[in-house]
Amino acid sequence: MKYDDASWHYGSDNFPKDLPDAAGGTHIGMYVAWAVLSGLASSQFQEDWAELVEKLNARAIAPGEFFMAACDGKFTDEELGETGQEFTEDYFDMEGGEYIEDYEELFTEDVDSIYEIEDSWANYDQLKPVLDQRLADWKEHAE
């Protein structure tokens, strides 16, 4: 199952023409990096991309950059373990999930679109507590 794809964004009419294609994956990369760092990635993904995961853990690569390199801009269920898949199906869902709403609420006050958000660890650090809380709430209701 494909959850999101950077090309869906940078290939759209509302994607700012002055931004690089990678900006279409920043919002996805923030989530994928969080999932990997939170232990929600599949063991196969971690094994296949061990060198990049090591760089991610060391913060030697930005979240979006990691996503584009490891996932080629495509976020699928293959990156996640069972818990990660279940949570992502609920929370990240582009139609009914809350991820994009949370992302926009956190970052878009001073920009025109989500694509202008910098792929940085400073932004990740702002988003991480929101994602941690959403996961904790989801686990509480899933029990």
Percent share of the chain, pLDDT over 90: 87
What distance in Å separates the CA atoms of residue 68 and residue 46, rounded to the nearest whole number?
A: 15
Is it the case that residue 91 has pLDDT exceeding 80? Answer: yes
Q: Please report the pLDDT score of residue 11 as a whole number.
A: 87
Is it the case that residue 85 has pLDDT exceeding 90? Answer: yes
Number of Cβ within 10 Å of residue 112's Cβ equals 8
Q: Please report the pLDDT score of residue 67 as a whole number.
A: 97
Per-residue b/e over 2-20, b at no fewer than 16 CB within 10 Å?
ebbbbebbbeeeebeeeee
Reported as a single tens digit per residue, the pLDDT across 93-132 is 878 889 999 999 999 888 888 999 999 999 999 999 999 9
Is it the case that residue 13 has pLDDT exceeding 90? Answer: no
Is it the case that residue 143 has pLDDT exceeding 70? Answer: no
Q: Please report the pLDDT score of residue 42 as a whole number.
A: 97
**Cα distances (Å, whole numbers) of residue 93 to 18, 19, 67, 89, 98:** 27, 25, 18, 6, 7
